[in-house]
Amino acid sequence: MSSLTVRNENVIIVADNDPKYSCMEIVFKKKMEGSFWKRLRMASKLSRDFTIAFAFNFSSDEEVEKFISVLRKRMVKKHFKVEKAFPEAIMPTKSHLSDVGWDLYTPIDFSLLPGEVKRIDFGIIIEILPGYEIQVRNRSGVVWKYNVMMALGQGTIDTDYRGHIMAPFYNFGTEQINFSRGDRLAQMVIKKVYDIELKEGKVNTNTKRGTKGFGSTGL
């Protein structure tokens, strides 16, 4: 058994678990809001229930975030190594523990004229584990606020790629847009890839939709 304790003047949290994380007991003092348990399960991706010895009500959001962060680090089973290719590069981060994607930051100052496309090198190299891919996607805030988007829409990084993570950005607006080092430009999502083979053969098209394609369900 291993034990983890988080303490401050108002809080004593003890989490005991076995090496395989098959059980966990969390000790609180007072009843916890249900919304916290939803956040906790999302953050640590647990499929099992908790055994509550006592209840406790956190006194601040910082305490909740710290507790979720500690649990998530102990529960995560996959680690991807990330290397900075040059000193100005910035490690990807998440704004919230329950976020799907990691934010990617520009390591340089740059500007985009209307209609211009520039390829931005994020300056990071990622060792992607077999059976996974990374998708680089737009950040909705960048598209909405600045009229700037990835020129390719979405990029796919294969498991054996070991080059710099980079993406082209397009200014589809009417004004020059300036970005500074540390601005969040895009996000990356790590996805599981299943081992599937394609086999030539007769395809069953006898379904409700059948061969109906573009516009078949209306606008």
Please give the model's pTM, rounded to 2 decimal places. Answer: 0.64
In tens, the pLDDT along 8-32 reads: 433 344 444 434 333 344 444 344 4
Question: What is the architecture of the domain spanning 81-192?
Answer: Distorted Sandwich (2.70)
Tokens (6 digits) for 206: 């006898």
Task: Enumerate residues 6+ apart whose C-beta is below 8 A from 126.
Answer: 80, 81, 82, 83, 134, 157, 165
In tens, the pLDDT along 88-117 reads: 999 999 887 678 899 999 999 999 999 999
pLDDT of residue 51: 42
| Cross-sheet strand order for the sheet of 148-150 | 117-121, 166-171, 148-150
Residue extents of the structural domains in the chain: 2-75, 81-192
